[in-house]
Structure formats: C-alpha cells, structure tokens
Amino acid sequence: MTDPRPQKTILRALAGEALPVPPVWMMRQAGRYLPEYRATRAQAGDFLSLCYNPDLAAEVTLQPIRRYGFDAAILFADILLVPQALGADLWFATGEGPRLSTVTSAADLARLKPADAIHDTLAPIYETVKILARDLPPETTLIGFAGAPWTVATYMIAGRGTPDQGPAHALKAADRATFSALIDLITEATIDYLSMQVSAGAEVIKLFDSWAGSLEGQDFDDFALAPAKRIIAALKARHPGLPVIAFPREAKHRYEGFAQATGADCVALDNSVDAGWAAAHVQRDGCVQGNLAPGHMVTGGPALVEATRAVVEAFRGGPHIFNLGHGITPDADPENVALMIETIRRG
C-alpha cells in the first residue's frame, strides 16, 4: 500500500517541494479569537484543565480545521507543561499569564524530577494526540510541539514571562554550570516528550524558541542552536523521516544557516524579517514557514490581501508553508482569517 503521507501538502513542502499554492496553518489557530474555543474553555473551567482533558483539547484543536480547512492542525497544549511534569508548580493568574515556582540555584534544580519521569503527568497530552490522529481529516497534517530549552528555561528561572528574559541571563552569567544543567534537563525531557507525541500520531514536530532573539553570539550557539540540534538529531534517530520545524523567533541574521546547523527541515520566520531577504538567505537551504504580520488578522481589508499576496510571491521560488510571523491574537476577526486563506488559495 502506498504511504499516504507524502501526498499531504505540508509534508510535501517539508520534503522540499515548491508547490503552486502554499499550504497554510496558523500559530495559535485554536484560540480565543474563536467563539467556539471560548465556549469549550468555559466548559473546561480553566486553561490547564483544558490542556489536560484529552477530549476537550482535541475538540479545540479540531475547531479551526472544521471552520477553515487549514492544511495542518497543531496539538493544543502549552510549552510550560514540561516544567510542570518536571516538578515545577504551575498556575495561570487571570489576566496575567503563567506563574511557576522558580529554579535559581543548584538546590532548586536538584529538587526537579529526572527527564524520564515526565510521562505520567503528560499522559493526557499523548491521549489528545491519539484522538487527533484518529479524527482529523485524512488530508490534514498533525503537528506536535514543545518549547525549546532556552525559552522554557526563561520561564522556569523567572517564574513568569519577562520582557527581556533578564533573570535567565543573570543566572547564565552568575552560575553557568547550573544554568547549563537546567538546559540539559529540559533538552532531555523535550526529546522524550516529543518522541511520545510522534509515537501517538504526530506527523511533524515544531520547536518553539520564542525568546531566541535575546541570545547573542556564543550564547545563541550554546543555548538556541545546540539544544535544537540535539533534539532534532535524537528525534530523527528514533523516528526516521520525521520532519521538524524550528522557530528561533527574532533570530534576525541568525536565521541564515539555522536549518543546516540544526538539521531542521524548515525554519519558521517571524514578521520582523523581510520576506525577500529570507527567500534569498534562508529558503535556499530548504522549506521556510511564515511570515504575515498577525496584526493583519485584526485590521483586515485590502492591506491584508496585499500583504498576503506579497508573502506568497516572495517565497514562490521554493518550498513554503504559509503562516503568521507569530501567533494570532485574541482580538483578531475570524472573517479576516477566512479572507487570508481565500487569498492564498485563489491567488
């Protein structure tokens, strides 16, 4: 029997094929801009309860597929479930975002669980993947994901999101050994977590390094590039042929060569990067993903159509997955998402 996977448009793009119409999905496509998501989240009671309820997490993952027919669904979960599975306390403060118990010393690090002890906590996530692998339309690719070690570490060290990742940079400078050991622990846990997602049915993996842009020079090499390379190599050794998308957000010129340096099959681009530059300097190494500014999902109109066409045109010469340069925001208009997709598919 012929393997159906290469016929899926996103898998074809990830394999290096330049398609006449780029496949499209959207970061945070299951989210607060959709009324059906808000209703399901209310049913769950709170955000973490939604993440850990396989039936409801699968439901919100499927909602944008039903509404828009995206070419991929991305597992509904959160990058901070891994720290929680490692033993960090995690809660979400209403209107303020995530909060965690902090890791700021060797003693704090020693209190965390080993990397291979995460699976009992994360078992509901693997069940969500199994449901999605069963229930998604046959043409829709299932993407699993995790946060990259640097980004996850910034939250674990600060106990929350910060504008400049200052606490993580401070620990890195003051106690590089402890900081490096934390990165190693997160890296090993992430490999196991993502491997279990693939075993449950994920066809593609995406690694989100949302704060990669605050690393420079050798620190970027050591804590953004090297962990991504280690994770990707381990996953591909366990799951030959697995495609991986890497997203070192705001990496600027360091986007160039990132795919070759890490083994990623695709590099996702934020919208601060000029698409023409990226086509010349990043897409030459393989598939790129991106990079429409998310604000167009709020404002819509002719500017949305023009900007969407410009992104498609810029990357027309090589493999491209259309996406936003960051996640869609809660104030986005669902009708603008439909307009974006119509513009991509009708040209």
Q: Count CB neighbours of 293 within 10 A.
A: 19
Q: Tokens for 180?
A: 């490096």
Helices (H), the chain: 9-14, 35-44, 47-51, 54-68, 81-85, 106-110, 119-135, 149-158, 166-174, 176-200, 217-220, 226-238, 258-262, 275-281, 296-299, 301-314, 334-346
Phi, psi of 109 (to 5 degrees): -60, -40
Name the pairing type of β-strands 204-209 and 244-248. parallel
Q: Which residues partner with 244 through β-bridges?
A: 205
Tell me how far CA of residue 244 lies from CA of 52, 61, 171, in angstroms.
Answer: 24, 20, 30
Enzyme catalytic residues: 28, 32, 41, 78, 155
Q: Tokens for 115?
A: 């990397």
Which is nearest to 86 in space by CA: 76, 100, 98?
A: 100
- DSSP, collapsed to helix, strand or coil, labels residue 247 as strand
What is the per-residue DSSP string for 106-174?
HHHHHTSPPGGG-HHHHHHHHHHHHHHHHHS-TTPEEEEEEE-HHHHHHHHHHSS--SS-HHHHHHHHH
Tell me how far CA of residue 42 lies from CA of 36, 49, 74, 279, in angstroms.
Answer: 10, 10, 21, 42
**Location of structure tokens 């969500």:** 128
The DSSP symbol for 241 reads T
CB 104 within 8 A of CB 157: yes
